[in-house]
Amino acid sequence: MRVGFIGLGRMGKGMAHRIHGGGHDLAVYDVLPEATAEFGAAGCGVARSVAELCGDREIVITMLAEETAVHEVAFGPSGMCASMPAGAIHMACGTYGVGTIRALESAHAKARQFLVAAPVLGRPDLAAAGQLGMVPAGPDEALRRCEPLFQLMSRRTFYAGPKPESATAIKLANNAVLGCAITAMAEGFSLVRKFGVDPRVLYDVMTEGLFAGAVAYVGYGKTMVEETYDRVGSPVTIGLKDASLIAAAAEIARVPMPSHNVYIERLLGAAAHGDGGLDQAVLAREQARRSGLA
């Protein structure tokens, strides 16, 4: 297939290489031209603009970190909606908000194009290895056409339904559950510390029992025990960005999420104390502060 790829960050790079490696005709675009060099060298098309990229593509994938970036790329006068052929598919792989997904869906529909939301689960190393989880949703026909690409990028595809926003909801809900797990662990560690218990004991009890095998607990819990918050996986600021998408989705759908509200409040507290650039496990330190421990 003729595939276009916009957004060659750490995740996007790995995904794009998988598609090219799968034998598809790939053209790429990034606002930073230097990000495209390795793809040019590998024989991919390198477009100088979104419009140039989209003109003859059957599927165009976006993997952008910021909502403003996807708005610019999709809705601008020379953006995707204006440039993609009728019948082409926009596969939106970044984590965008429900409002953005709805706006994209209707703009593409007007241009007789399709939107498939396909947020991904996993880190850059998994992206490079084609081992992501992908949660796609969109019209059946469009999903069927995207299927070969899902296979190249992911170890498992979780089909969420015919409405793109369903995929967004799953991705956001999964992030919400993670945020709440981090917050709860932070509270648990403060509680045991106040009673003079070594946090490692709680870590062992959790991760060898009910939470055995859960990366969320094993990973973030360990960072909390060791207080190695400067080895950053996902920083507080990114957590805040995602959390605001979750809160917006919850408000649109009328779903009160009290635990998630607590997570937001703790993230804000951490950022207020200058910990915005640190790993989200630093919520344990924020919780400790609230408990008079730090």
Phi/psi at 174 (nearest 5 deg)?
-65, -45
CB of 241 to another protein, least distance (A): 18
Using the rule CB under 8 A, which residue among 125, 140, 208, 230 binds another protein? 208
CB closer to another protein, 36 vs 183: 183
Residue 248 in the binding site for another protein (CB under 8 A): no
CB of 86 to another protein, least distance (A): 27
Question: From CA 47, how far away is CA 97, in angstroms rounded?
Answer: 27
Residue 43 in the binding site for another protein (CB under 8 A): no
Using the rule CB under 8 A, which residue among 31, 129, 197, 272 binds another protein? 197
Contact present, 121 and 270 (Cβ < 8 Å): no
Residue 222 in the binding site for another protein (CB under 8 A): no
Residue 216 in the binding site for another protein (CB under 8 A): yes
Of residues 110, 75, 269, 83, the one with CA closest to residue 186: 269
Q: Which two tokens mark 184?
A: 């709860």
CB of 55 to another protein, least distance (A): 33
Only segment of 52-60, 85-93, 247-255, 272-280 that touches another protein (CB under 8 A): 247-255
Residue 117 in the binding site for another protein (CB under 8 A): no
CB-count burial class (<10 Å; 0-12, 13-18, 19+) for 72? middle
CB closer to another protein, 43 vs 292: 292
The C-alpha R_g of the chain, in whole angstroms, comes to 21
Please give the residues from 133 up to 172 whose contact with another protein meets the rule CB under 8 A: 133, 135, 156, 158-161, 163, 165-166, 168-170, 172
CB of 158 to another protein, least distance (A): 5
Residue 177 in the binding site for another protein (CB under 8 A): yes
Residue 41 in the binding site for another protein (CB under 8 A): no
N residues, the chain: 294
CB of 250 to another protein, least distance (A): 6
Residue 129 in the binding site for another protein (CB under 8 A): no
Please give the residues from 68 up to 97 whose contact with another protein meets the rule CB under 8 A: none
Question: From CA 13, how far away is CA 28, in angstroms rounded?
Answer: 10
Sign of CA dihedral 41, 44, 50, 51: positive
CB-count burial class (<10 Å; 0-12, 13-18, 19+) for 201? exposed
Residue with tokens 């981090």: 182
Q: Which two tokens mark 43?
A: 């024989």
Residue 292 in the binding site for another protein (CB under 8 A): yes
Identify the bridge partners of residue 132 per DSSP, sorted by sequence position.
154
Residue 215 in the binding site for another protein (CB under 8 A): yes
